[in-house]
Each structure stands twice: as C-alpha cells, then as structure tokens.
Amino acid sequence: MLPKYDWCYIAWAAIVSTLISASQVYSQEEKQSNYSPGIIHFYQEYISPIDGDRCPMHPSCSTYLKNCVKKHGSLKGWIIGLDRLVRCGRDEVENSPSVWINGKKHIYDPVKNNDFWWSEK
Amino acid sequence: MKKIFPAIFFWVFLFFHVNGSCEEIVIVNAQKQYQLAQTLFEEKEFSAAAHEYIRFFHLFPNHEKVARAKYKTGLSFFYAGRLEDAGRHLEKIAADFSDSGFASDAMFKLSELYIATNAPGKATSVLRDLITLTNMPQVHDRACFMIGWLLLDKADILKSQSDYKVYPVREAEKYFSMISFKGKKKYRIEDSITSLKKISHLKKKTPALAGVLSIIPGGGFLYCGRYRDALVSFLLNSSLILAAHQSFENDNVFLGGVISLVEAGFYAGNIYGSVSSAHKYNIKKQKEFIDKLKQEYLVNQDKISFQSGFIKNGVALMFKYNF
C-alpha cells in the first residue's frame, strides 16, 4: 500500500499529463473551428453579463484570450492571454491607440499588436 | 365617304410620324461620346462617366483617345468609390499602354488605391515597378519620393509582413537618395534625408535583455519604462508563488499544483510581455521620430498631407501629395 503523499503525487501527475495531452488535441481543433474554450465561454456567458462591461481594452481580455487560443493554440494562447491580464488598462493606455465603442473609449490592443514580432500569421 | 376618312387619317398620321421620327435620329460620333463622358466626369457623376468612357472605347476601339478614356474609366471608378473596378482598369492600363504616359499615371493612382485599402505592400511593389520601368526623370523622382514616404509611414506594418525582408526605414533612405539633384531641390527633401540618418542613433530597448530581466517578475516591464505593469506583475507572481509554496508546505499538494499551473502561465506571460514591450517601445520611438520628420517637412511645405481614419480591421493612415 502506497503512503498518502504518494497517492497525491500520482493523482497530480495524472491530471497534469491529461491536461497537457488534451491541450495538444484541443489546440489542433481550436485552429480549425470557431468553438471557444469552455472556461472562457463560461465566463462570457454567465459571469460577464453580471459583472458588466468593465474591461478598458478592445477586444476585451476574455475575447483576447479566446483569439489567442484560436490563433496560437492552447499553450501559447494561454501565456499570451495571461500577459494581457497583467497589462490590462495600465501602461498600455499610453502606448496603444484608442477607439470608441458604444460611446466608451477603449484601448485598442488586438492579438496582432502583441505577436507581430514573431508570428507571420 | 366612310372609307375616305380613315385613309386620310392614316396618311396624315404616317406623314407626321415619319417626319417626327426623322428629327429624333442622332448620330453619335467619337467626339460626342467622349464629350459626354468628359462632361459627366467634370460634373462628378463618376459612375455614369465611367460607363460612358467604357461605351466610348467599345464603340471606337481604334480612336486616338482610347488610352485616355481607359485611364479615365479607372479614375472615375476610383472617385466613385468602386475601388475593385478601379484597380482592375488601372492595372490593365499599366499593362497594355506601357509606352504612353497614362501607364505611369495609372500606376501612381494604383499605389494610392492600395494605400487607401490598407495594402501598403502592394503599393510599394507598384511604385518599385514604376521606378524600374520608367525612363522619365520626373516620374522616377516622383515615384522615389512617394515610396520613400510610404515606407516611412507604414514601416511597422510592412516589417510585420512575412514577405517583407528589407528594413523599410533603410529602404526609404535609399529611395530618397535615388531622387535626382533637380528632384531633391523640387521636393526639398535634403533636410529629411539628413535627419533620417539619425534614426540609427535612437535609444532602443533590447528585447533579449528585457526577457532576461523578467526572471525577477516585472523586471522586464521596469526596463521598458512600464512601471505600473512591473508592480502588478511582481505582486501577482510573488503572491502566487507564495500561495503555491504555502499549499505544498501544508501538504495540500493538489491546491499547490493548481496554483503552480496558473502561476507558470503568469510567469511565462511576464517574460513574453516584457519582450513584447521592448519591441513595442522600439516601434513607438521610431514612429515618434518619423512623425517629427513629417512635421518638420510639413512646416516647409504644405503639399503633403497625412489623413488617419478607421477601416474594417483597424486604423489606417493615408498620405497624399499635391503635385
């Protein structure tokens, strides 16, 4: 019989390996379809309408993350998307142009403005 | 008598009808047809003018004004906002009438059309072809002048395109230098060329260094002058690292693992963001330099104008030069 800690490590290793392999398959599917990842879909469908339109950026952080995953796959998309969460609405205001959407000023920061230096897509 | 009245009526009707019909016969000759198209063009009825020009060169294919009419068709479609039709006609003019002066005019207009449709790569290709093909010094100088400003103005877009291998600003400098002595005097471009050489002295950030500095979360952002992002990145990453550490310390391996997974994303994002910020900083500095160059040029002469506007997928900047 394995000790309690070893079971935890084994469970964790199984989860991580499942996530990695699922993300690889998911990336391929993402590139070919318009389907949005479950967690982002859940946020946009159920949380955002209650939380309100508070993101000062355009596209909003959730849409940006969705676009990143669509464009670059799950792993790279996740990293680029999290970078956006850190930058949202602070120094980017001084570095990016602004656009007016529904009478509100937003900071225009699409994926192409952040991957131009390495992505040829 | 009953038969006479209808007969008289018939002949009277026929006489007036034939007589009336004769007055309506109009013979259209080349001059009249061209004049009609020209009048419509002058009255800014561009769509109608385009169709009349087309009618002209279909009815009189061997007339001496066919090349002009075809060029005017492209021009009319351009001003009517039918850019696809305009492009098709102008391309045909450039290919079919390469010996006439209309080919160069068509190519200039075509490059303008590509700028308007946010395709600066195509505009530079057209102007490059024109520079190679023309043997007229004025056309050569004008094309070099236009391509120089276009490369400066759209440097970042052109550089981001995969098929664009040359550094646009350097190329702009090359094209400005290719303008003849007479042309340089005409366009007063000497000062701009001298200023352009200073672009290599701009203080830029090294993306690799930004990446290395972001080993300490926020270090890369700090290097790029993004202080608030640096602070957020540092606090967020250190909090998550601390949370993951505490979870493992308290034997909560699963929670620690989940936090570590999220933190790994934020940490990698911090490195990615720092490198990206360095690139953006460099582009911003270059843009500011070019904008200053434009302003200095504009102070000297008001012939050149830059217009910004919104297009389908972003913001476009259009440049116009009045000759």
The answer, yes or no, to whether ipTM is higher than 0.85 is no
Provide the pLDDT confidence category of residue A57 given band limits of 50, 70 and 90. Answer: very high
Contacts of B226 in chain A (CB under 8 A): 87, 90-91, 95
pLDDT the model gives residue B308: 46
pLDDT the model gives residue B314: 45
Looking at CA atoms only, how far is residue A80 from chain B in angstroms? Answer: 6
pLDDT the model gives residue A84: 95
Tens place of pLDDT per residue across chain B (323 aa)? 556 666 666 666 555 555 555 567 778 888 999 999 999 999 999 999 999 999 999 999 988 889 899 999 999 999 998 999 999 999 998 888 877 778 899 999 999 899 888 888 889 889 999 999 888 898 999 999 888 888 888 776 776 665 565 677 778 888 888 888 888 888 877 777 777 777 777 888 999 999 999 999 999 999 999 999 999 999 999 999 999 999 999 988 889 999 999 999 999 999 999 999 999 998 888 888 888 887 877 766 555 555 544 444 444 555 555 54
Probe site for chain A from B232, B247, B263 (most A CB atoms < 10 A): B232
Residue of A nearest to B270 (CA): A83
Comparison of pLDDT for B317 and A48, the residue scoring more: A48
pLDDT the model gives residue A21: 59
Contact A114 B276 (CB under 8 A): yes
pTM for the predicted model, two decimal places: 0.65
Chain A residues within 8 A (CB-CB) of chain B? 5, 8-9, 11-12, 15-16, 19, 78-87, 90-92, 95, 97, 99, 108, 110, 112-117, 120
With a cut of 50, say whether residue A64 has pLDDT above it. yes
pLDDT the model gives residue B310: 44
Looking at CA atoms only, how far is residue A26 from chain B in angstroms? Answer: 17
Phi first, then psi: give them for residue B176, nearest 5 degrees: -65, -40
pLDDT average, residue stretch A13-17: 67
Q: Distances in Å between the alpha carbon of B320 and those of B203, B246, B309, B317?
A: 30, 62, 14, 10
Chain B segment 246-285 residues within 8 A of A by beta carbon are 251, 253-254, 257, 261, 265-266, 268-270, 272-273, 275-276, 279-281, 284
With a cut of 70, say whether residue A66 has pLDDT above it. yes
Half-sphere exposure of B255 (CA within 13 A, CB side): 12
pLDDT average, residue stretch A78-106: 90
